[in-house]
A and B are shown apart, each in its own frame.
Chain A
Amino acid sequence: MEINYLVLSAEIILSLTGIAIVISTVYPFKNKEKLLGYVALLGISLALFSVTNNWNQNGEAFSQMIFQDNFGTFCKALFLLSSATIICVSIPYLRKAQLPPGEFFSLLIFSTIGMSLMVSSSDLIMTFLGLELLSISTYVLAGYNEQKRKSNESAIKYFILGAFSTAFLLYGIAFIYGITGSTKYLKIAEVISNFQTVPLPLLLGLGLLIVGFGFKAALAPFQVWTPDVYEGAPIPITAHLAVGSKVAAFVAFARILYQLAPDLSLYWQSILWISAVLTMMIGNIAALTQTNIKRMLAYSSIAHAGYLLVGLISHSQLGIQSLLFYLVAYALMTLGTLAIIQVLGRQNESNVDIQDYTGLSHRQPFLSATLSIFLISLAGIPITGGFVGKLFLFSAAIESQLYGLVVIALIASAIGLYYYLRIIVLMYMKTTKNLEIPIDIPVPVRFVITVMVAGTLYLGILPNTLLQLAWKAVSF
């Protein structure tokens, strides 16, 4: 048995940081949210440093419980950056909403550990542990604003449905273990490849796994919880759910499908094909009718999960590479959009109705210009990262000859144009007499928004660097 702590150095650093933050909550510091926020950021930067050092070093640890490969490293770096962004925007949020920062940051960090474990796991039990660590932390975080009914509703809904889906996942793992006699990805794949005919319980197990991950990644028909939970959760947590949690579910799912069940691709491709069509259509059509911007973004994130599925279904290196690229672009634009919504929402998350954005360009030129860029990117229009990402996803699907799926995805994107544009129309082309006091944008949030805009445009104009990285990250 070989234990290689270096492989888990990032997770260890994060755990220590999380525990330190929990302990520090008992001491009465001044400006606690700032101090603890910086501690959390420091921990994340150290973890990021150790993760990036692992680039191009493959290996495994804990008797094949953990993989270390570029895919994991790439995704971990993405999780860490996303969590760092969320911490930046949470600092002013927590101060205004007067919420205790200690538990918030530590839970955020624990959920990041969960995501890292999910993506680097090579054993179903380990994946399950990572998923649980992520889920339980986010259940609490969703209800963190205990004074608000909506936040409580969000947490309860998320918890009950999440617990159900976890049960499905565990049941699926049990089936797979029962048939193949192992929980290790590569071992299972080996056993499956020796089967003459695929046994039914194995397919049942695979189906249950798809249900479990489908819930976490908000794929139709398991997407119903998303709008309510996103609407009620505190905005930084909405961002965490829409980006971190969803990305983690996607990449862990991708690893399972590609490493554990490559021989069953015929089955999961056809199941996910239906799910992708439903996800894209439900997401885009439902988003058309929303009046609350958080709900609209929830549906838009469902639609994006559908596009991501297109890459997954392609079952090729190009498919996974496009998935990774799109996840980065998606993270940038979603985090940026939610940061803007948070600033506009002020203390008590008002201004979440789409009508509140009327004439915003006159009052907030910076916010409305940046929001437009994010929306244009979400709609997949050049010269933004969203366009290059979609181009690659659809190219991967055409390479795998999924013409029907691409046509449906294009129709879905065309529908999507309308609701993204609607906000731009309201901000720029309509005027309102409602004169508000100007909002001062907190420095960390302004920083986050600027970085996200720069990143979105950078990925649209000079995507080569990230494309190459993502290509090298696909090691299976």
Chain B
Amino acid sequence: MLNLLLIIPAIGALGILLLPHKKSNLIRNLSLVVSLITFILSLTLLFQFDSQISQMQFIEDKIWFEVGPVSVHYHIGIDGLSLFLVLLTTFLFPISILASWHIKTNISSYMSLLLLLEMGIIGVFISLDLILFYVFWEVTLIPMYFLIGIWGGKQRIYATVKFFIYTMASSLLMLAAIIPLYFLNPSKSFNLIEITNKLVNGEIILSPSVEILLFLAFFLAFAVKIPLFPLHTWLPDAHVEAPTAGSVILAGVLLKMGTYGLLRFCIPLFPKASLTLAPIISILAIIGIIYGSLIAMVQPDMKKLVAYSSISHLGFVVLGIFSFNLISIEGATYQMLNHGLSTCALFLMIGMIYDRRHTHLIEDFGGLAQVIPRYAALFMFFALSSIGLPGLNGFVGEFLILQGTFLENPGHAAFAALGIILSAIYMLWMYQRVFMGKVHHEQNRLLSDISTREIIILVPIVIMILWMGIYPGPFLRKMDSSLQLVVDRIEQSRESESYRVELIGN
């Protein structure tokens, strides 16, 4: 079952390359169909998923390559955490393919890179073998690199090289931490579940300094991806220069690979190091929340504004994860999905206006609500979702994160709450300058309102935002037991006496 989620996009990507380049309509439709099939298949996962089980489900485990002491497995499976991230991925890909309908140059490479990217991202979320995970992690990098570099804006080369070097250099560090874990494991395997269990049982013992080093190597790779302040500088460039579908995927799922990595790898593998470093990381997250909002406020460019708002939102997620209780971690996971939906929708809408006016500078607009009222109304809806208006999805996630954080550390929660106020300021101020007032630029009077294709793209997101805002229960219930495992892992090492003794001893 899970195999198909990897195989179908891969076959689609190859098949599209083999089609004649001139038949661009066929290529578009085919890639849409491939991504829709993947989405429907992933929906069946949702129904077959058993939310009572906290362990991995739909497991596949085969030997990929094995020689001498080294064996790497094709080992995949999902739990409550990855289920929704897989669904978010398969949900956003048909949308971004639809949003790329107007792409003309080299359409077959474009679509095939998008499908390859889809395979890579799904692979990241479902792999349970450390090397397999690393392979998929890197595989996502190459299509994104080309998508930004070939179909991006004016500064695309600078942006894409920066993106690539940042992520690649940090993930090499992760590789450097994966291999020692393997040799520390007495039964010699890269199996994540096995290594985690052995760490719990004490069959693998990491000395505190080794644990912190390994934690940092993993953490840096994820922190660049998230991106956590002060490693965020690649993000605004990449977002602004990427084509719309690129920004959508980047903000929607690629950044979540980082926060997912924290929950799946950093905390379960290195709980003591996580506890030790949590205060520093939380403070970085809070700086990210406030700094991201403040920078977003002064951006003259809508796309850049949304990009900086991502830094702020992802700061919330990291804060929630490193508050280590079920409420905040659940909120963080929920917020990953929310951010995926609302930020994507904003990027899509900015892309639509860019297709018409070829600019996303705020000062080039004004009074758009009079000219294109339906567009303005939808934009308002997504902006409110991003701010976290009660009744929409953003509220649930942010509320849970703040509640959970407050239980652990009220001070952190107080500072983080500032971010919500700031987000209302920058979003509404931007909305006011773009949509309210008089029409300053004559060419804006000629703008056409939103088209049917664009409505088809946006309506599914609207439905999801409302559903997740009004009735979050089914989502949270499915995550519960898997996230409880993460929390248990932390609690267990918090209580372990030996650890305290070591701390005092040091």
| Contact B70 A318, beta carbon cutoff 8 Å | yes
The size of the chain B interface, using a CB distance under 8 A, is 36
A179 within 8 A of B: no
| Contact B66 A464, beta carbon cutoff 8 Å | yes
Q: Which of B68, B139, B180 contacts A318 (CB 8 A)?
A: B68
Please tell me the size bucket of the interface on A.
35 or more
| Contact B135 A387, beta carbon cutoff 8 Å | yes
B161 within 8 A of A: yes
A191 within 8 A of B: no
- The interface residues of chain B, by DSSP majority, are classed as helix
Q: Which residues of B contact A425 (CB under 8 A)?
A: 149, 157, 160-161
Task: State in angstroms the CA–CA spacing of A468 and B142 once bound together.
Answer: 29
Q: Which of A382, A429, A462 contacts B149 (CB 8 A)?
A: A429
| Contact A464 B138, beta carbon cutoff 8 Å | no
Task: State in angstroms the CA–CA spacing of A189 and B134 once bound together.
Answer: 42
A274 within 8 A of B: no
Q: Mark A375-390, 1 if CB is under 8 A from B, else 0.
A: 0100001110001100
Q: Mark A385-407, 1 if CB is under 8 A from B, else 0.
A: 00110011011001100010011
B183 within 8 A of A: yes
A104 within 8 A of B: no
Q: Which residues of A contact B142 (CB under 8 A)?
A: 376, 381
| Contact B157 A430, beta carbon cutoff 8 Å | yes
Of the listed stretches A136-144, A227-235, A241-249, A410-418, name the one at the interface; the rest are far from the partner chain: A410-418
A467 within 8 A of B: yes
| Contact B139 A410, beta carbon cutoff 8 Å | no
| Contact A395 B149, beta carbon cutoff 8 Å | no
A126 within 8 A of B: no
| Contact B67 A398, beta carbon cutoff 8 Å | no
Of the listed stretches B48-56, B163-171, B295-303, name the one at the interface; the rest are far from the partner chain: B163-171
A351 within 8 A of B: no
Task: State in angstroms the CA–CA spacing of A388 and B72 once bound together.
Answer: 11
| Contact B172 A428, beta carbon cutoff 8 Å | no
| Contact A394 B160, beta carbon cutoff 8 Å | no
| Contact B180 A398, beta carbon cutoff 8 Å | yes
B47 within 8 A of A: no
| Contact B168 A399, beta carbon cutoff 8 Å | no
Task: State in angstroms the CA–CA spacing of A431 and B66 once bound together.
Answer: 44
| Contact A381 B172, beta carbon cutoff 8 Å | no
| Contact B164 A421, beta carbon cutoff 8 Å | yes
- Given known pairs A382-B138, A395-B179, the reply for A429 and B65 (CB within 8 Å) is no
A210 within 8 A of B: no
A470 within 8 A of B: yes
Q: Which of A317, A417, A421, A463 contacts B68 (CB 8 A)?
A: A317
A:459-476 near B, CB below 8 Å: 462-464, 467-468, 470-471
B218 within 8 A of A: no
Task: State in angstroms the CA–CA spacing of A370 and B138 once bound together.
Answer: 19
Q: Mark B265-309, 1 if CB is under 8 A from A, else 0.
A: 000000000000000000000000000000000000000000000
Q: Which residues of B contact A394 (CB under 8 A)?
A: 175-176, 179
| Contact A407 B176, beta carbon cutoff 8 Å | yes
Task: State in angstroms the CA–CA spacing of A119 and B164 once bound together.
Answer: 40
| Contact A429 B138, beta carbon cutoff 8 Å | no
B:127-156 near A, CB below 8 Å: 131, 134-136, 138-139, 141-142, 145-146, 149-150, 156
With both chains docked as a complex, state the minimum distance between the C-beta of A149 and any C-beta of chain B, in angstroms.
36
With both chains docked as a complex, state the minimum distance between the C-beta of A353 and any C-beta of chain B, in angstroms.
19
Q: Mark A13-42, 1 if CB is under 8 A from B, else 0.
A: 000000000000000000000000000000
Given contacts A382-B135, A388-B65, A394-B176, 10 further A-B contacts (CB under 8 A): A318-B69, A321-B68, A382-B136, A398-B180, A417-B168, A421-B145, A421-B164, A425-B157, A425-B161, A428-B149
Q: Which 9 A-B pairs have the closest CB atoms?
A: A467-B67, A382-B135, A464-B65, A429-B149, A414-B169, A398-B179, A471-B67, A382-B138, A410-B172
Can you identify 30 A-B contacts, CB atoms within 8 angstroms? A318-B68, A381-B138, A382-B138, A383-B135, A391-B175, A394-B175, A394-B176, A394-B179, A395-B179, A395-B182, A398-B180, A399-B69, A406-B176, A406-B179, A410-B173, A410-B175, A414-B165, A421-B145, A421-B161, A421-B164, A421-B165, A425-B160, A428-B149, A429-B149, A462-B65, A464-B63, A464-B65, A467-B66, A471-B67, A471-B68
